[in-house]
């Protein structure tokens, strides 16, 4: 379809509810994102007003791209490289110029395939 000599393309339609890495935007919620875990970095301890405990950075991908992931507390021990995980009701933010997703305090992370 053309409008004012510009080609207008229809948006891609994906499964209802599922998001892809290319759909992520900073400071926006993550409804449902499925990732294969590529790397999990060593845990470290953080101390803040809102959370004190272990965290670990990780990296995952789907068919559209790569994204960073923050693992909190028990999530660090549950997840292994190669797992396919689902993040539900999470959050996306920008960190050092890259997108990072997290479950935050209200979201869930589950393993959907090993």
Any domain includes 84: yes
* Residue pLDDT, tens place only, 8-53: 554 444 456 789 999 999 999 999 999 999 999 999 999 999 889 9
CATH at 74: 2.40.50.140
* Residue pLDDT, tens place only, 67-105: 999 999 999 999 999 999 999 999 999 999 999 999 988
pTM greater than 0.85: no
SS3 string of the chain? CEECCEECCCCCCCCCCCECHHHCCCCEEEEEEEEEEEEECCCEEEECCCCEEEEEEEEEEECCEEEEEEEECHHHHHCCCCCEEEEEEEEEEEECCEEEEECCCCCEEEEEEC
What pLDDT does 14 receive?
47
Any domain includes 3: no
* Residue pLDDT, tens place only, 52-70: 999 999 999 999 999 999 9
Domain carrying residue 57: 15-113
What pLDDT does 17 receive?
73
């Amino acid at each position: 379809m053309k409008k004012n000599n510009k080609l207008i393309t229809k948006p891609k339609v994906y499964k209802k509810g599922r998001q892809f890495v290319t759909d992520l935007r900073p400071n926006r919620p993550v409804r449902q994102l499925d990732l294969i875990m590529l790397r999990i970095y060593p845990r470290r301890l953080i101390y803040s007003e809102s959370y004190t405990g272990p965290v670990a950075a990780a990296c995952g991908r789907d068919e559209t791209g790569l994204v960073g992931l923050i693992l909190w507390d028990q999530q660090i021990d549950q997840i292994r490289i190669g797992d396919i995980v689902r993040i539900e009701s999470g959050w996306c933010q920008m960190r050092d110029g890259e997108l990072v997703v997290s479950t935050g305090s209200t979201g869930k992370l589950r393993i959907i395939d090993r």
